[in-house]
Chains A and B, each alone.
Chain A
Amino acid sequence: MKRIIPLTILVLFLFFIVAHPSEAQNINGVTIREEVLGNGLKIFALKDPNAVLSVFQIWYDAGSINEDIGKTGLSHLLEHMMFKGTPRFGNKVFSKIISKAGGIDNAGTSKDFVYYYQKLAADRLSLSIEMEADRMQNLIILPEDFDSERNVVMEERRMRYEDDPQSLVYEEVVSTAFRNHPYRWPVIGWMEDLRSLTRDDLWRYYKKRYVPNNAFIIVAGNIDVESVISLIKKEFGAIPRGDDISKLEIKETPQRGERRIYIKKEAELPYVLSAYKVPNILEEDSYALDVLTGVLSGGKSARIYKSLIDEQRVALSAGAGYDNFNRYPFIFYLYGTPMPGKKIEDVENSLYAEVEKIKAAPPDITEVRKAKNQIQADFVMNQDSIFYQAMILAEFELIGDWRLKDRYIDGIEKVTPEDVQRVAVEYIIPDNRTVGTLIPVKRETKNENQ
Chain B
Amino acid sequence: MRINRPNKTKNVSRCPQLIAASVFFVLCFSLFTGAYALEAKRSLLENGMTLMVVEKHNLPVVKVVVGIKAGSIYEPEGKSGVANLAASLLTEGTFKRTARQISSEIEFVGGSVGASAGEDYITVSLSVLKKDVELGFDILSDIILNPSFPEDELKKKAEIIKADIISSEDDPSYVAQREFNKAVFGEHPYGRLLSGTVETIEKISRDDLVGFHSGYYTAGNAIMSVVGDLSSQEAEELIKKYFSNWRAGSVTTVSAQKIPVQKKRNTVTVDKDLTQATISLGHLGVSREDPDYYSLTVMNYILGGGGFASRLMDNIREDKGLVYDVHSYFNPRKYGGSFEVSLQTKNESANKAIEEVLEEIRKIRSERVSDAELTGAQLFLTGSFPMKIETSSRIANFLIAVEFYRLGADYIDKYPTYINSVTKEDVLRVAKKYLDPDNYTIIVVANQKEAGIREEYSK
Residues of A within 8 A of B (CB): 1-2, 27-28, 48, 50, 52-53, 83, 92, 95-96, 99-104, 119, 121, 147-156, 158-159, 162-165, 265-269, 298-302, 306, 309-310, 313, 316, 337, 339-340, 366, 369-370, 373-378, 380-381, 383-386, 441, 443, 445-450
Decide: B387 and A151 in contact? CB cutoff 8 A: no
- Is B110 an interface position by the 8 A CB rule? yes
Q: Is the CB of A50 within 8 A of B319?
A: no
List chain A residues, Cβ under 8 A from B104: 301
Identify B376's interface contact among A28, A96, A103, CB under 8 A: A96
Q: Is the CB of B306 within 8 A of A99?
A: yes
**Those 4 A-B pairs whose CB atoms lie nearest each other, nearest first:** A102-B383, A377-B110, A151-B321, A50-B58
- A sample of 26 inter-chain contacts (CB < 8 A) reads A2-B307, A27-B59, A52-B35, A52-B389, A53-B386, A102-B385, A104-B307, A119-B387, A121-B383, A158-B344, A162-B274, A162-B276, A163-B172, A165-B170, A268-B167, A299-B107, A299-B112, A301-B103, A380-B59, A380-B61, A381-B127, A384-B58, A384-B392, A441-B273, A446-B269, A450-B269
Residues of the B chain whose Cβ atoms lie less than 8 Å from the Cβ of A266? 272-273
Closest to B387 in A: A53
Could you tell me if B156 and A313 are in contact, using CB atoms closer than 8 angstroms?
Answer: yes
A158, B276: Cβ atoms under 8 Å?
yes
- The answer to whether B129 touches A380 (Cβ under 8 A) is yes
Q: B307 to A300, Cβ gap below 8 A?
A: no
Q: Are A121 and B34 in contact (CB under 8 A)?
A: yes
**In the complex with contacts A50-B58, A155-B324, A316-B391 CB distance below 8 A:** no
Shortest C-beta distance, A225 to chain B (Å), equals: 18
| Contact for A155 among B103, B274, B346, B382, CB less than 8 A | B346
Of the candidates B112, B160, B321, B458, which one forms a contact with A149 in the assembled complex, judged by CB atoms under 8 Å apart? Answer: B321
Asked if A28 and B59 make an inter-chain contact with CB atoms under 8 angstroms apart, the answer reads yes
Partner of A449, one of B159, B169, B268: B268
- Cβ contacts under 8 Å, B380 to chain A: 99-100, 102
B307 contacts A95, CB within 8 Å? yes
Which of A50, A154, A300 is packed against the most chain B CB atoms within 10 Å?
A300
CB distance from A273 to the nearest CB of B (A): 15
Q: Do A447 and B270 form a contact, CB below 8 Å, given A96-B376, A156-B324, A310-B156?
A: yes
**What A residues does B267 contact at CB under 8 A?**
449-450
CB-defined interface of B265-283 with A at 8 Å, one 1/0 digit per residue? 0111111111110000000
Q: Does B10 have its Cβ within 8 Å of any Cβ on chain A?
A: no
How many residue pairs, one in A and one in B, have C-beta atoms under 8 Å apart? 207
B359 at the A interface (CB under 8 A): no
Decide if B16 is an interface residue (CB 8 Å cutoff).
no
Provide the residues of chain A in CB contact with B271, threshold 8 Å: 445-447
Of chain A, the residue at the smallest CB distance from B162 is: A340
Asked whether B1 is an interface residue with its Cβ less than 8 Å from the other chain, the reply is: yes
CA of A375 to CA of B107 in the docked complex: distance in angstroms? 11
**Residue B204 is within 8 A (CB to CB) of chain A in the complex:** no
Nearest Cβ on chain A to B155's Cβ, whole angstroms: 10
Q: Which residues of B are found within 8 Å of A373, using beta-carbon distances?
A: 108-110
Q: Are B275 and A316 in contact (CB under 8 A)?
A: no
Contact among B129, B167, B379 for A316, CB-based, below 8 A: B167
Question: Is the Cβ of B322 less than 8 Å from the Cβ of A155?
Answer: yes
Give Cα distance in the complex from A446 to B447, angstroms: 10
- Judged by a CB distance under 8 angstroms, whether B100 is at the interface is yes
* Docked complex Cα distance between A384 and B346 (Å): 40
Given contacts A99-B308, A337-B167, A340-B166, contact A385 B275 (CB under 8 A): no
Q: For the complex formed, measure the closest distance between the CB of A296 and the CB atoms of chain B, giving whole angstroms.
A: 13
Contacts A152-B321, A269-B167 given; does A52 touch B36 at CB 8 Å:
yes
Q: Chain A residues near B162 (CB, 8 Å)?
A: 340
Assembly CA distance A309 to B325 (angstroms): 35
The residues of B that contact A302 with a CB separation of less than 8 Å are: 107
Asked if B390 CB lies within 8 Å of chain A CBs, one says yes
Of the residues A50, A100, A301, A369, contact of B379 by C-beta under 8 Å: A100
Check B459 for interface membership: any CB of A closer than 8 A.
yes
Q: Of all chain B residues, which has the CB nearest A299?
A: B107
- Knowing A52-B390, A156-B324, A300-B107 touch, does A96 contact B309 (C-beta < 8 A)? yes
8 Å CB interface, B365-417 against A = 375-376, 379-380, 382-387, 389-393
User: B164 in the interface, Cβ–Cβ < 8 Å?
Assistant: yes
| CA gap between A152 and B353 in the complex, in Å | 13
B60 at the interface (CB under 8 A from A): yes
**Among B274, B308, B321, B384, which residue has its beta carbon within 8 angstroms of that of A102?**
B384
For chain B, residues 275 to 323, give those with C-beta under 8 angstroms from any C-beta of chain A. 275-276, 306-309, 317-323
Q: Are A1 and B324 in contact (CB under 8 A)?
A: yes
Contact A300 B309 (CB under 8 A): no
Which residues of chain B are near A95, meaning CB under 8 Å?
Answer: 307-309
B276 touches A450 (CB 8 A): no
Contacts A27-B60, A99-B306: A53 and B345 contacting too (C-beta < 8 A)?
A: no
Contact check: which of B60, B107, B166 meets A380 at CB < 8 Å? B60
Which residue, of B60, B272, B321, B376, has the highest number of chain A Cβ atoms within 10 A?
B321
Q: Which B residues are CB-close (under 8 A) to A339?
A: 159-160, 163
B189 at the interface (CB under 8 A from A): no
Q: Would you call A374 and B107 a contact (CB within 8 A)?
A: yes
The interface centre, meaning the residue of A165, A381, A447 with most chain B CB atoms within 10 A of its CB, is A381
Q: Which residues of A contact B141 (CB under 8 A)?
A: none
Which residues from chain B contact A378 at a C-beta distance below 8 Å? Answer: 110
Chain B residues positioned under 8 Å from A163 (CB to CB): 172, 274-276
Is B448 on the interface with A (CB-CB < 8 A)? yes
- Residues of A contacting B276 in the complex (Cβ-Cβ under 8 angstroms): 155, 158-159, 162-163
Asked if B103 and A300 make an inter-chain contact with CB atoms under 8 angstroms apart, the answer reads yes
B391 to chain A, nearest CB (A): 4
B93 within 8 Å of A (CB atoms): no
How far apart are the CA atoms of A124 and B51 in the complex, in Å? 36
Q: Which residue of A lies closest to B376 (CB)?
A: A100
Asked if B111 is at the interface (CB within 8 A of a chain A CB), the reply is: yes
- When distances are taken between beta carbons in the complex, the residues of chain A under 8 Å from B107 are 298-302, 370, 374
CA distance A241 to B269 in the complex (A): 56
- In the complex, chain B residues whose CB is within 8 Å of the CB of A92: 308, 318
**Would you call B379 and A446 a contact (CB within 8 A)?**
no
Contact B103 A152, beta carbon cutoff 8 Å: no
Distance of A380 Cα from B380 Cα, bound (Å)? 30
Q: CB distance B164 to A316 under 8 Å?
A: yes
CB-CB nearest in chain B for A162: B275
Name the residue in A92, A103, A310, A369 with the highest tally of chain B Cβ atoms < 10 Å from its Cβ: A310
A148 contacts B308, CB within 8 Å? no
Contact B167 A121 (CB under 8 A): no
Measured in the bound complex, the distance between the Cα atoms of B386 and A50 in whole Å is 13
Q: Say yes or no: A384 contacts B59, CB within 8 Å.
A: yes
Please give the distance in Å from A259's CB to the nearest CB on chain B: 25
Docked complex Cα distance between A30 and B317 (Å): 40
Chain B positions within 8 Å of A375 at CB level:
110
| CB-based nearest B residue for A388 | B391
Chain B residue contacts of A96, Cβ below 8 A: 308-309, 376
Chain A residues closer than 8 Å to B156, beta-carbon distance: 310, 313
Best-buried of B61, B162, B448 by chain A (most CB within 10 Å): B61
- B194 nearest CB across to chain A (Å): 18
Residues in A whose Cβ lies below 8 Å from that of B61: 380-381, 384
**Nearest CB on A from B174, distance (A):** 11
